[in-house]
Amino acid sequence: MTESTRDPVPTVATARCADECSKTAACTNFSVETNGTCTHHRSASLAVAYKLEGDTCEHGWRGVGGHCYYVDDTYAVTYDEASTRCTHYGAYLATIYSDKDQETIETLRNDAGLHMTSFWLGGLITTTTLHNGTIVSSWDNGEPWNYDNYAPGKPSGDGQCIIMMGTDQNSTWYDGVCEIPQHFVCEK
């Protein structure tokens, strides 16, 4: 049994696919794609592909909704340091596009024991004109900005980086000074 190399994939998915291949006598090699599809190759012309169910993220990461998340509850760092660390992991600071995403991030934070701690999200406030209500925000990963959960009266011009803060399942966003250390969540 050998592994066919394609796109880089989380180690857990590769290990699971290899394990399943080893249990099938006809499986000569296997491949795993980044979307979690495991393919068992039985001959040059016959292959069986199936989607791995469950968490296929690397050790220390949690899989939710097709994304892998890493909550860094060890160090509080500046926004730039957090972004650099996520990039080092092949990820980006977490982005939120819906109430469901908001819930996911809150749950991950709470599961890590950070119930009342604030942390960086992967967004920046690029323009704030408070007198007429104009707020332009952007996600670091280049995705379109289509959702926000700012606290009442926020952003207020206090900073350019977005912080998620609150208790348990009741968190809102604030504009914060990028140089003040916070915990962070990476996503890939």
Among residues of the chain, what percentage have pLDDT more than 70?
71
Report which secondary-structure segment, H or E, holds 127: strand 119-129
Cα Dmax for the chain: 70
Q: What is the pLDDT of residues 22-35, one digit of tens each?
A: 766 667 777 777 66
Question: Worst-scoring range by mean pLDDT, 38-42, 93-97, 164-168?
Answer: 38-42
If we measure between CA atoms, which residue out of 56, 58, 54, 23 comes closest to residue 40? 23
Report which secondary-structure segment, H or E, holds 103: helix 99-111
Residue with tokens 């068992």: 40
**Higher per-residue confidence, 76 vs 73:** 76
49 near 38, Cβ under 8 Å? yes
- Average of per-residue pLDDT across 127-154: 78
| Third-level CATH fold of 63-187 | Mannose-Binding Protein A; Chain A (3.10.100)
Most confidently modeled of 22-26, 73-77, 130-134? Answer: 73-77
Domain ranges in the chain are 2-51, 63-187
Q: What is the pLDDT of residues 5-16, one digit of tens each?
A: 433 444 566 666
Three-state DSSP class for residue 162: strand
The confidence score (pLDDT) of residue 186 equals 95
